[in-house]
Structure 1
Amino acid sequence: MARASYPHLADISQSPHHAIKYVGFDAERGSTVGGTSVRGAYLSARYESRREETDFTVHDYLTGHTELNALERDDSQLDKRALDVITEQLNLRSLLSMPVANLSNGQTRRARIAKALMVQPEVLLLDGPFMGLDPNTLKTLSRVLMGLAERQQPRLIMSLRPEDGVPDWVSHLVVIDEKLRIIAQGAKHDLLKADGAHASTLRSILGAADYSQQASSRAQVSRDGFAKQSLPLPPGEALVEMRGVKVSYGDKTVLGDWQQPLNGEMQSSLWWSLHRGQRCGIFGPNGSGKTTMLSLITSDHPQTYSLPIQLFGRSRLPGPGEPGISLFDIQRRMGHSSPEVHAFFPKQLTISRALESAWADAPLARPTLTPEAKRKVKACLRWFARELNPGQKQPTALETLQAASLDHTTVEKSANALTDIYKELTANDADLAWATSMIVRDLSFSNQRLVLFLRAIVASPDLIILDEALSGIDETIRDKALLFLSQGEKVSRVKDGVAEESKLAQLNMTVMDGLSHEQALLVISHSKEDVPGCVREWICLPEPGEGMAPRVGKLPGPLELNPQGWDNIWGR
């Protein structure tokens, strides 16, 4: 096995342990600024005015005065000048007295980077620093990182996804493929001029925006099967209604501090609804109230009981002649996937048991499974068998079926033969033995996200909520997941802008359909690549403290083929 060497660190007599600092941005690290998930704290505490004992301030966190970091250095060892410089560089000075639990996503990233800089490392490793940031916050953070890179104090190394693009100030690149093989490395301007097998891939990554524009002009349908111009479904009954919602903690309002027009009149606070058949996106800057709004919909927020909110036609508290809706009723009718769900989901479950928990009152409770529910779980596992069980050497049952061809001169006879072959391959579910033994904890980060995405949709709930559900997932898996969300088992893939019907559809053997007219979809994402192509309605919350009303609008089709829609959402 090759060993890493550090010639420069040897010259200056520093160990890699102290000279290199790593800051990663994923579900395991995202629930606290410190990067250690405080699982014992009350999950809804972030929505309340009271303080938990773990709610130390940003100043405490940066200077090591936290109960969770008892071995940190004391005041006598602290370089106060370094604190002043770093908080100025990262625009944190005004936040020093704020509890870390109240920081927005972008503020949290800056605080974590500042924490790493406090020990004055020679090298700072940032893993996915732009993941999950709104476009404006991303620009701000990019400027901060550019300043660090220009000073080379410390030297900066980042990991980036293709959809992140490459900032102009990045000078050198190492490009790897999906199998973690290096396909190119060197100065960025040299790679732009390179020829060879990977030239087009490199140019698509380095010029992601231009490449995306060119691809959209060529494609006939989006990667999840929607035409450039595709009308929304007619809305059905309301599943969520907010009629003048305002969330405040004391004198601080975090959602609904505005007047908005409604039916020709100005109304106070947030008025918004979501109906069957609608596919809606909630957007807005970090800290604008998206998480608060979502927590009201899922009923995690304590103020859901007292605010004018109806979920599936009922309030949380009973009214005259009307029973309230219970948390279990809500959970049964919603499928929810998010980084928070990922962080707290019991990862000791097997893959199949994790999907089955969509029919349980809680992940560890016993699910109530009908024959139809069992068929749906198996359909999901077979569709994603290659992704969830990458160690499988033989072709999966679906891969074998897809590779077979129908003899169109004797279609009926050929179809019967293929059906028999597939039934033989899946007899007694022997092809799914891996799913009953593989543990969620042992999966890659991307595959854990995939399992929770499938858990959110497998039971075909009335409302599916995808809150950054595909953030950090591998690009090819993300695209396949979005296609499955919209088309189910009917479409095997989209190639060169053309949707290809699956063999299961040709043989009338599909079990999982895409989103139905009876379902609603709610999406929160800061990356347009993670937004499903079926999303047509959107609401963009304003910058916190502005008092401006949220903007709302409609998309003519998928963002992939209508990239100007992303600029419209963000008011650019």
Structure 2
Amino acid sequence: MRWGACARQVSRTTVARNYHTTANPVIEIKNASFYQNYPAANEPHGSNAPLLERLSFSLSGDNDSGSGQCWSIVSPSSVARTTVLQALAGQHICIPPHARSYPYLSAISQSPQHAIKYVGFDAERGNNVGGTSVRGAYLSARYESRREETDFCVRDYLTGHTELNALEPDSSAEDSHAFDEITKQLNLIPLLHMPVANLSNGQTRRARIAKALMAKPEVLLLDGPFMGLDPNTLRTMSEVLKQIAVKQHPRLIMSLRPEDGVPEWVSHLVVVDEHSRVMAQGNKKDLQSGGDSGVLRFVNAAEHGDSAAPKVRLSRDGFQQTSPPLPPGEALVEMRGVRVAYGSKVVLGDWQQEVGNDQKSGLWWSLHRGQRCAILGPNGSGKTTMLSLITSDHPQTYSLPIKLFGRSRLPGPGQPGISLFDIQRRMGHSSPEVHAFFPKQVSLRRVLESAWADAPLAKPKLNEDAKRRVNACLRWFSKELNPKWSKETPYERLSSEKDETTARKLHEEVLADDTDLAWASQLTFRETSFSSQRLLLFLRAVVGSPDLVIMDEALSGIDEAIRDKALLFLSHGENVSNIVDNIAQPSMLARIGATVVDGLSPEQALLVISHSKEDVPGCIREWICLPEPGEGKQPRIGKLAGPLELNPAAWGEIWGQ
């Protein structure tokens, strides 16, 4: 059952429940609405819509171990999850102003800004670790052996020693004890001398939580702590957060996606739908026994998994349970014994791999036209390093036995080396790192047009076909990208039209006048939501129909409905409008022969990195799973009979479970 249907089953009477504690509440919100800008009495209706309406919430001030509350904000919308947490932290304008208060903090003379720490795990809120930029200045900096003065180690980061020519920190015995306890609790002691820029996703997450804990907050807000973690790291992270929740120092509130499931140690829930409406809140057990079990069954489904494949004919992106792969064409990427090391530390290829009938050192792997492959493995296993060799961001690409599109980076006998610009023109790449470094001042149209440029800010080289493809993507996702979307435009009327003759006339109107896309030139990347930004960068990777499309956690954190639409578009373009009753519905554009973007072609290859099976496209048919770092085991390689959605047992097989 989908999220919207489940959420609507929830009794709205639970929203108004009151929660009383013997101590002053740490956070108390009574029937408040929250706005980005202060609402004026005479402003037009809808010009400053509330971010969140009629929120009531109370966090107990009782912090005795084992008796306190641990809340989770559960929603399919990344915007809704973040908005609730930010409202709790004192952000956004509260109407009426007195509806949000912090009685316990007032009693102990602490401000919310110091007593409540927010840690987010996405491109906008999570990449400048804790607000202090410790990343390299450019995408490939993390792979270089040379260390800059600003490449601070984990110890410096946690102790705040991140200034150039900084004085030695004057730490007390109490601070030193807290440091030792926190680094031990989060298993950071072996990483204390490692540059923060070199940490894996899971390691960075633990470091950022440790940084927040070092400030000794009363409340810790974690936005999406399980997003982007492999199954093993997720279990470890869950255990760490459980320890924090039990100790109640600090009190823990975290946001979860429905597919994350609700850990058993979470005591209370706030359930928010995709429209930022609070549907239910309260004690998890009370909700379960009070008629709200539909929501709990939904959010727990991913936690426990399904023992059998769903009895449906198509996946959400239009693939049958058993569907054969395309025949492979020429090799686009070839690795023949790749081994990446920094001094004595090997980060990729530290194994003997069976190749034919022989055992050979290093990584042996190739990707061909027509193949749809996933690179999987635990956090820190070398996936990002492997991908950086493919995109040529890694300096060792020059010296290793790697061929990209049939050529090496360095020239050989009778063959020139392939340039970085040649590689970029033939690859479409979307990832959280691309998101972090992408210029925020460009327009939405320019984001997509940069697929034909040597760099995001360089002038794109567009022909008529490229312009049509950009327009097609903007129109197909106008509802998700345009904050002032209207279903009254000719294109939207065309999309919902049933008569083909009328649809052709509307299509002529669309082609004759592109003023319906003016918003795409006026709105900047910075002004859009996180989910819209991720969607734009995904579209940038596919719009130019490159030889190789790379999706590295490209859809992580994106809203569920948008993610499903993006996956459908990836494989079918404008040809399929949606899946209804497990049947692919051809779009009106396909029926009148007016499609421009047709999805992945047999000449293209797709490479995906993901830790969430929901983000893996249904067209993936091959996978390579890298081993745990330091094990010395060779990677496991396998094939899928069909989409993971309809073959859920395959996910456990991939991870050796």
Superposition TM-score, scaled by structure 1 size = 0.94
SS in 1 for 2:265: coil
C-alpha contact 1:28 1:37 (8 A) present in aligned 2: no
8 Å CA contact 2:119–2:126 kept in 1: the answer is no
How do 1:175-194 and structure 2 match up within 5 A? 175-194=271-290
What secondary structure sits across from 2:554 in the alignment? coil
Matching of residue 81 in structure 1 with residue 177 in structure 2? yes
CA distance in 1, matches of 2:307, 2:286: 24
Question: Which of 159, 166, 183 is equivalent to 1:63?
Answer: 159
Q: Give the alignment partner of residue 241 of structure 2, picking from 129, 145, 158.
A: 145
Are the counterparts in 2 of residues 239 and 274 from structure 1 also a CA contact under 8 Å? yes
Q: 1:385-433 CA distances to partner (integer Å, 9 max, x unpaired)?
A: 0000132244344431232223xxxxxxxx2332012322453201111
Shift of 1:202: 4.3
Residue 40 of structure 1: how far off its partner (Å): 6.4
Structure 1 residue 449, shift from structure 2 partner: 0.6
2:590 aligned partner, one-letter code: A
**1:28 aligns to 2:121 (yes or no):** no
State the AA in 1 paired with 2:572. Answer: Q
Given residue 185 of structure 1, which amino acid in structure 2 is its aligned partner? Answer: Q
Q: What is aligned with 2:624? A: 539
Shift of 1:36: 3.9
TM-superposition CA deviations, 1:37-81 (whole Å, max 9, x none): 457634323112221112222111111111179699632586111
User: Which residue among 560, 569, 573 is the counterpart of 1:475?
Assistant: 560
Q: Structure 2: state its 5+ residue gaps.
A: 1-94
* 1:260 aligns to 2:353 (yes or no): yes
Aligned equivalent of 2:9: none
Q: Is 1:452 aligned to 2:537, yes or no?
A: yes
Question: Hey, what does 2:400 align to over in structure 1?
Answer: 307
1:5 to 70, 77, 101: 101
Q: Which residue of 2 aligns with 1:217?
A: 310
Return the letter of the residue paired with 1:562: N
Quick one: which of 481, 484, 490 aligns to 1:388? 481
CA separation of 1:491/1:401 partners in 2, compared to 1, >3 Å: closer, same or farther? Answer: same
Contact 1:32 1:101 in 2 (8 A): no
**Map of 1:107 onto structure 2:** 203
* 2:321–2:647 Cα contact (<8 Å) kept: yes
1:163 corresponds to 2:259: yes
Match of 1:560 among 622, 645, 652: 645
1:250 and 2:352 correspond: no
The equivalent residue for 1:461 is 546
Over 3 Å counting, the alpha-carbon distance change for 1:397 and 1:171 in structure 2 is: farther
Query: Residues 209 and 29 (structure 1 numbering): CA distance in 2 closer, same or farther, change over 3 Å?
Result: closer
Q: Is the contact between residue 337 and residue 456 of structure 1 (CA under 8 Å) also seen in structure 2?
A: yes
Contact 1:64 1:72 in 2 (8 A): no
Query: Match of 2:320?
Result: 227
| 2:52 is the alignment partner of 1:52 | no
How far the C-alpha of 1:212 sits from its partner, in A, is: 5.7
Aligned residues of 2:444 and 2:521 also touching (Cα < 8 A): yes
Letter in 2 for 1:251: S
Secondary structure of the residue that 1:464 maps to in structure 2?
Answer: strand
C-alpha separation in 2, matches of 1:167 and 1:376? 44
SS at match of 2:129: coil
Report the more deviating stretch, 100-109 or 507-516. Answer: 100-109
Give the SS at the match of 1:75. coil
Q: Which moved more, 1:275-284 or 1:425-434?
A: 425-434
The AA in structure 2 aligned to 1:525 is S
Asked if residue 287 in structure 1 is aligned to residue 372 in structure 2, the reply is no
- Indicate if the aligned counterparts of 2:134 and 2:151 stay in contact, CA closer than 8 A: no
Tell me the amino acid that sits aligned with residue 402 of structure 1. Answer: S
Q: 1:457 to 1:96 in 2, by over 3 A?
A: same
Aligned to 1:14: 110
The DSSP-based 3-state class of the residue aligned with 1:106 is: helix
**2: CA distance between counterparts of 1:267 and 1:558?**
32
Corresponding residue SS for 2:146? coil
How far the C-alpha of 1:30 sits from its partner, in A, is: 4.1
Aligned residue identity for 1:262? V
Q: Which moved more, 1:22-31 or 1:80-89?
A: 22-31
TM-fit CA distance, 1:299: 0.5
Cα distance in 2 between the residues matched to 1:187 and 1:38: 39
Residues in 2 aligned to 1:83 and 1:38: alpha-carbon distance in whole angstroms: 20
Match of 2:65 in 1: none
What is the deviation of 1:210?
5.5
**One-letter identity of the residue aligned with 1:455:** R
Rounded Cα–Cα distance in structure 2 between residues aligned with 1:418 and 1:33: 50
1:346-385 aligned within 5 A: 346-385=439-478
Q: Distance in 2 between matches of 1:389 and 1:403?
A: 18
Q: Does the 8 Å CA contact 1:32/1:100 hold for their aligned counterparts?
A: no
Q: 1:273 to 1:72 in 2, by over 3 A?
A: same
Q: Sort the Cα spacing of 1:425 and 1:194 in 2 relative to 1 into closer, same or farther, 3 A.
A: farther
Q: 1:400 to 1:70 in 2, by over 3 A?
A: farther
Deviation track 1:538-557 (CA, whole Å, cap 9, x = no partner) reads: 00001111100000000110
Q: Where does the alignment leave 5 or more consecutive residues of structure 1 unmatched?
A: 407-414
Letter of the 1:513 counterpart: D
Q: In 1, are the aligned partners of 2:550 and 2:606 still within 8 Å (CA)? A: yes
How far is 1:264 from its partner? 1.2
**Number of equivalent positions:** 561
CA distance in 1, matches of 2:620, 2:267: 37
AA in 2 matched with 1:312: F
Alignment partners' CA distance in 1, 2:645 and 2:226: 20
CA distance in 2, matches of 1:35, 1:224: 38
Map of 1:400 onto structure 2: 493
> What secondary structure, in the 3-state scheme, does the structure 2 residue paired with 1:153 have?
coil
Corresponding residue for residue 93 of structure 1: 189
Letter in 1 for 2:310: S
Residue pairs, 1:525-536, within 5 angstroms: 525-536=610-621
Tell me the distance in 2 between the aligned counterparts of 1:322 and 1:8.
72
RMSD of equivalent CA atoms:
1.9
- Which of 522, 536, 546 aligns to 2:607? It is 522
Q: Could you tell me which residue of structure 1 aligns to residue 425 of structure 2?
A: 332
- Alpha-carbon displacement from aligned partner over 1:13-52 (angstroms, at most 9, x marks no partner): 2221221111111113444534444576343231122211
Local SS of the residue matching 2:589: helix
Helix, strand or coil for the counterpart of 2:645? coil
**What is the rounded CA distance, in whole Å, between the counterparts of 1:351 and 1:72 in structure 2?**
46
Does the 8 Å contact 2:149/2:164 carry over to 1? no
Counterpart of 1:424 in structure 2 is 509
Q: Structure 1 residues 545-554 or 68-77, which shifts more?
A: 68-77
CA contact (8 A) 1:334 1:463 kept: yes
Partners of 1:270 and 1:307 in 2: how far apart? 11
1:489 aligns with 2:582: no
Structure 2 counterpart of 1:221, which letter? L
Structure 1 pair 202/70, CA: closer, same or farther in 2 (3 Å)? farther
Q: How far apart, in 2, do the equivalents of 1:70 and 1:475 lie? A: 45
Give, in whole Å, the separation in 1 of the partners of 2:183 and 2:248: 17
Quick one: distance in 2 between partners of 1:39 and 1:45? 8
